[in-house]
Structure 1
Amino acid sequence: MTATIHTVAVEKTSGDLAREQQLAWKLAELATRAKDAPQDDEAVAMAKNRIIDNAAIALGAANERAVKVARADALGSKGTGKATIWGLEDKFAPVPAAFANAVGVRFLDNDDCYLAAEYSHPDDNISPIIAVGQHLGVSGADILRGIVVAYEVHVALVGTGDGTGICLHKHKVDHMTHIAAGTAAGLSSMLGLDTEQAYHAINFAVHNAISSRQSRKGDIGAQKEFVPGFSAEISIKAVHHAMHGLKGPNPVYEGVDSIIRRFLNGRDDENAVYKVELAEPGVDALRNIMKTYPKQYAFEYQGQAIIDLALELRKQLPKKGDGVDLDQIEKIVLETSHHTHHVIGTDAQDPQKIDPDSPRGTLDHSIMFAIARCIQAGEFHKDRAYQMTSAEKDELRAIMARIETQFDQRWEDLYHDQDPNVQAYGGRMVITLAVGNEVADEKTRANAHPGGDTPWQRPDYEAKLADYTKDLVSDVERDRFIAAVDGMDSISGDELVRINLIVDAGKLEMPDTNGIY
């Protein structure tokens, strides 16, 4: 392995950094040289797993309001392109198709994750790459390479240990910036662009993909779910314009008025330095996709291991009928990392996070809700977890008020450990019962994590697909789709329409409101 850690620093005066020294150029080189290098078999197989995962979660959310609106937005382009939208047989223009699919994939907060210096959902890159690939009739192998490259770039920007990665959330910048870089690189690789074109595509995409994290605060509507749709649109147009020979603002990372200097650490320190580890183009296998984690539950990633832990501890709690005697629980304390405590725990001091009447976009970022719902229901299903009766809400409100999160330095150290074999996003849970005794245990990683108790394999992705689409898609159609994904390496052109899962046993709904179009 010959990966290199690159130093990324701000220019002292405009124009004093040769483009070959710029991060965007290095990302472009990685992307464009990948076309002539053999692909890693495991990475390609994982890309196929994540396509199946995308189909599952997109159709699992297909009739949610925001997803219906995004899909309806695309209907005006029906017949004007060759891209598909999950669930529909028609073909569409690539930009609206990518937008609709990306919104569907993100809605349940059940897509894959990678956390290091920054947070990310790397499969946000998949929708635009498939849409453009279908539209232009590239090969399935090209699409898979584009996905692997997008993951490679995205994960590298988020961080791969040894102090690498560009943290955005510290400065309240949304992680769309890294999504756009990954997508532009993946599209460039898939389409066989030269390094000059890829460089400008990345500059265009990154520059236009800066947004604040206010999208995750307040009365959350759909902005958080729409972020990957906007990123897909920005990235596709960035590549399109670069292919015409247009030049994006550069250097997009290091410029005196660019990303690092005006939005990140360089805003307060003109000598700020970041480090990014990149594989040697054409030499190293691109395997960053193997570092990413699937999500078993429709909930913020920091809660995945805690949900597993709560379900395991539930088995030891006093029973009442078929459930747990919630009255016997005096309090629950979760010792955990700063993020879990401060962002999705009680230190957030957000009354909505302990109110079961809050919107789903808030509840899926409340560890108090996740713990209470697991103990109450004995499961955490993507739908049933958030569908509650009034009586269940009253019970939840009472138990959520008895849950407290506490910062623990041990879990903070594990959270930030640079060794991926040590790094963990879990906690220790202590449940104190009314009789005085305690039920306690800890979990470092989610079961589904590559380093968890039961790391996900292909059957787990297929089971998730069956569960999330059971009321919409027939077994025959699911089997056809899985076979098509498995055979992507040998298809191209109009055959790429097969990389779509058609709703043939249910109904895709339209919005019940009107907009401009």
Structure 2
Amino acid sequence: MTEVQKLAKFVSSRKFSDLSEAAVRELKIRLLDSLGCAIGALNGEPVKMIKEQLEDFGGNPLTTLIGGQKNAPDRAAFYNSALVRYLDFNDSYLAKNETCHPSDNIGSVLAASEYADKDGKDFLTALAIAYQVQCRLSDVAPVRDKGYDHTVQGAYGAAAGAAYALGLDVTKTANAIAIAATAYNALRVTRTGNLSNWKGLAFPSTGWTSTHSAFLAMRGITGPEEVFEGNKGFKETISGDFEMDWEKEDLERVTKTIIKKFNAEIHSQATLEGLQDLIAKEDLFPSDIESIVLNTFDVAYNIIGGGEEGGKKNIWTKEEADHSLPYMMSAVLLDGNVLPAQYLEERILKDDIQELLQKVTVNEKKEYSDRFPFEMANDITIKMKDGREFKVEKTDYEGFSSRPASWDFIISKFRNLSNDFISEELQNEIIATVQNLENHSIKELMQLLEKAGKPEMAEA
């Protein structure tokens, strides 16, 4: 058997009973977290542009757009994934040399599950598969340092999850993964330099095309069977050699993923909570700050601190702001939090935050780098103009693997994100459906989500 066939055998043979109670709980928590992110993104400008295009192009109305009409499954996967991703508030997985957002797969798995009229058990199993495949490939085959985006491993996960939801056999599942994995190897430039709308749309595009690949395989289209090990395959051209024994894999990787407390890039979370801790204890007036020095781990420094992926002090757009430690730290100091409101254009361009972010210096500290990804270690020193200094050290935050998010945490986040778009009654229905998803069909869930954002479903 080729390596993709071994992966396909793993995917096709999974069942709901393979999931531990802990994994089922964490999958549901991440689903509700992602649905809150999706509903809260309904007014995002790029999201509106995508919806306009889908309405212009049309599509066979087989699956549901969150807050919208029905459309073709691959297009629903794209749109719903864009909603989950746009706010940059969904979950993350930290591998040593790769970071991904495995809930990005939810749009694909929802679309395939609704099309195939699957129940909650099948959906949760398919989603667990997508998490497992993407996260484990991130562990053993990181591509960031090779110049490729983390959506590369996502193509394997999204195709695998969609294939399972569609009920494909081993051969067709292998073809679905092979097509997606061969065709959709994205460049890391998506997240370097001056950031564009594509930062939030790169994985939705991968989810769209990977879902499309699963449907092509369902019809009988074949893909390169040696996508991993073959001549000019993934190992030779991108990842380098690695080994994965899929027969020994379980479906528990979701329990190692983490939830965002702040609407900010994942590697900033402990730093931002540290600033909140300082604000709660000390009299900190931002106008009196002379300098802010953050020592952090290498991944945070390189991606959002001004390291190898470019400077982070010329901030004019949402995409730039939510990938800038200086901006996000300044937002906490000025506003007390980092939520969608901190990424409105009028907030980004105000003099107070533009001036304060210039006072932030970010350094890499090797000791902290060595402790990542098991800790998000950092320390912050704030010097005031009158000579006082305030310091704080952090290793984690609420939502990290060492302090997992509770149902109360997630329900509160869901309500805060969706309050402007749905009534409390609809919120309660969605929460109850997700918490008891084994007893519901995905069509039932999508019928609720279709109502989001409609005037009659919002609070008066």
Partner amino acid, structure 2, of 1:139: D
- Indicate yes or no: 2:194 matched with 1:245: no
> How does 1:363-402 map onto structure 2 within 5 Å?
363-384=321-342, 386=344, 388=346, 393-402=350-359
Residue 148 of structure 2 corresponds to which residue in structure 1?
A: 173
The counterpart of 1:412, out of the listed 361, 366, 369, is 369
Matched, 1:498 2:458: no
Aligned residue among 438, 463, 467 for 2:416: 467
Distance change (3 Å), C-alpha of 1:376 and 1:134: same
> Aligned in 2, Cα 1:448/1:396: closer, same or farther, shift over 3 Å?
same
1:481 aligned counterpart, secondary structure: helix
The question of 1:55 aligning with 2:55 is answered: no
1:97-116 map, 5 Å: 97-116=76-95
- Give matches, 1:422-501, under 5 Å: 423-452=374-403, 455-492=404-441, 494-495=443-444, 497-498=446-447, 500=449
Structure 1 residue 27 corresponds to structure 2 residue 7: yes
Instruction: For 2:199 and 2:427, locate their aligned partners in 1 and report how far apart those are by CA, in whole Å.
Output: 29
For residues 506 and 309 of structure 1, the distance between their equivalents in structure 2, rounded to whole angstroms, comes to: 39
2:206 is the counterpart of 1:231: yes
Say yes or no: does 1:126 pair with 2:126. no
Q: Distance in 2 between matches of 1:398 and 1:437?
A: 20
Name the counterpart of 2:248: 280
> Quick one: distance in 1 between partners of 2:47 and 2:201?
9
State how many pairs are aligned: 456
Q: Deviations over 1:437-467 (max 9, x none)?
A: 3211111112221313xx3111221111111
Partner of 2:258: 293
**Residue 180 of structure 2 corresponds to residue 222 of structure 1:** no
CA contact (8 A) 1:136 1:493 kept: no
CA contact (8 A) 2:19 2:252 kept: no
Which residue of structure 2 lines up, in the alignment, with residue 336 of structure 1? 296
Distance 1:147 1:472, change over 3 A: same
Judge conservation of contact 2:59–2:71 (CA < 8 Å) in 1.
yes
Q: Alpha-carbon deviation of 1:506?
A: 4.0
- Residue 354 (str. 1) matches residue 334 (str. 2): no
Q: Deviations over 1:105-126 (max 9, x none)?
A: 1111111000113210000111
SS at match of 1:354: coil
Q: Secondary structure at 1:343's aligned position in 2? A: helix
Secondary structure in 1 matching 2:355: helix
The answer as to 2:275 corresponding to 1:310 is yes
Distance 1:29 1:503 in 2: 38
Distance 2:174 2:258 in 1: 29
Shift of 1:493: 7.4
Give 1:395 deviation, angstroms.
Answer: 2.0
> 1:45 matched to which residue of 2?
25
How much does 1:87 deviate? Answer: 1.5
Query: Aligned equivalents of 2:59 and 2:307: distance in 1?
Result: 51
**Residue by residue, what CA displacement relative to the aligned partner does 1:359-388 show, whole Å, maximum 9, x if unpaired?**
110111111111111111122222245454
- Residues 149, 389 of structure 1: alpha-carbon distance in 2 compared, 3 angstrom cutoff: closer
Counting aligned pairs with the same residue, the percent is: 25
Query: Could you tell me how far apart the structure 2 residues matched to 1:457 and 1:304 are?
Result: 17
Shift of the 406–180 alpha-carbon distance from structure 1 to 2, 3 Å rule, reads: same
CA offset digits 1:328-378 (Å, max 9, x no partner)? 322111111122223211445855x2244x111011111111111111112
| In structure 1, C-alpha distance between the alignment counterparts of 2:309 and 2:148, rounded to whole Å | 21
Q: Which runs of 5+ in 1 are unaligned?
A: 1-17, 160-164, 266-272, 319-323, 417-422, 509-517
Deviation of the 1:302 alpha carbon? 0.5
Which TM-score applies when normalising by structure 2? Answer: 0.92
2:127 pairs with 147, 152, 168, which one?
147
Give deviations 1:367-418, integer Å, cap 9, x for gaps: 111111111112222224545458x8322232222211112111110115xx
State the Cα distance separating 1:178 from its structure 2 match. Answer: 1.0
Q: Which runs of 5+ in 2 are unaligned?
A: none
CA deviation digits over 1:5-27, x for unaligned, max 9? xxxxxxxxxxxxx51xx1x2232
Instruction: Quote the Cα distance in structure 2 between the aligned partners of 1:349 and 1:125.
Output: 25
| CA RMSD in angstroms, aligned pairs only | 2.4
CA drift of 1:191 comes to 2.8
Contact 1:99 1:232 in 2 (8 A): yes
Stretch deviating more after TM superposition (434-443 or 123-132): 434-443
Rg larger in 1 or in 2?
1
2:294 aligns to what SS in structure 1? strand
- Please state whether the residue corresponding to 1:383 is helix, strand or coil: helix
Whichever residue aligns with residue 204 of structure 2, its letter is G
Contact 2:303 2:309 in 1 (8 A): no
Quick check: which one's helix share is greater? Answer: 2
The 1:463–1:36 alpha-carbon spacing in structure 2 relative to 1, beyond 3 Å, is closer
Q: Distance in 1 between matches of 2:303 and 2:369?
A: 13
CA distance in 2 between counterparts of 1:349 and 1:234 reads 27
Judge conservation of contact 1:109–1:299 (CA < 8 Å) in 2. Answer: yes
CA shift, 1:288, in A, is: 0.7
Aligned match of 1:420: none
What amino acid is the match of 1:215? T
Which of the numbers 33, 36, 49 marks the counterpart of 1:69? 49
**Mean Cα displacement is larger for which, 108-117 or 374-383?**
374-383
Residues of 1 paired with 2:442 and 2:455: CA distance? 29
1:279 CA drift (Å):
5.9
Kept in 1: contact 2:149–2:188 (CA 8 A)? yes
